[in-house]
Amino acid sequence: MKKFIFFPLWRLDELENKLSEMERSGYRLVKVSFLFWFTFVESKSKDMRYYMPITVWRDRSMYECDHAISRNGGHAIECRYCYFSIYRTSAPKEKISLLYGARMDYVKSVLLHKILLFLAGALLFLFVIIAEHGRIPRYDFIKSISAVIIFSLFAGYNLYGYFKQRNKCKKFEKEEM
């Protein structure tokens, strides 16, 4: 069965829980293609956990998470055209909770980088508009303003996600103590 599941970057943990619930109800994830298309097959119900490290904007911490989950019996799921990879493991959540914490902090930093990138794009177009004020045709002016608005909307969307992720990180740290 193929299923379209949309999720923003800051909701990876909710998607992992949903995939674990589907595994318990007898549907095993076998492949992810084109970012949001998940392919499931019927299987025997098992208590498995899913872990999703980020594969773009990667630094050493995510590679170490990949190695750690592999050492704890993680089985990689085939993912094509995705910004994440997926591992299925039977390890108890307590054993891999540090990996979840590392990934949560990493998602927060990725969202911050995306905010800065979109704000830089908006400022670049804004500077072009200011520098060329009065010399650019009206149509190009409207296109430039549209680009500033779109970049600002994406920055706002990621800013919203950043604050959601920051609150999740604080909550996770309190639970760990």
Among 53, 50, 59, 9, CA closest to 29: 50
Locate 156 and state its tokens. Answer: 């706002």
Look-up of token digits 């500077």: 127
For residue 163, what pLDDT is reported?
Answer: 94
Cβ-proximal residues to 14 (8 Å cutoff; 6+ apart), any chain: 7
Strands 86-89, 37-42: parallel, antiparallel or unpaired by DSSP? unpaired
For residue 129, what pLDDT is reported?
Answer: 80
Q: Which residues does the chain have with pLDDT short of 50?
A: none
The rounded distance, in Å, linking the Cα atoms of 89 and 119 is 38
Look-up of token digits 């995939």: 19
For residue 55, what pLDDT is reported?
Answer: 78
The rounded distance, in Å, linking the Cα atoms of 101 and 96 is 9
For residue 125, what pLDDT is reported?
Answer: 84
Q: What is the pLDDT of residues 57-72, one digit of tens each?
A: 667 777 788 888 888 8
For residue 177, what pLDDT is reported?
Answer: 60
Among 43, 45, 44, 96, CA closest to 70: 96
Q: What is the pLDDT of residues 97-123, one digit of tens each?
A: 888 888 888 889 889 999 999 999 999
pTM: 0.80
For residue 162, what pLDDT is reported?
Answer: 95
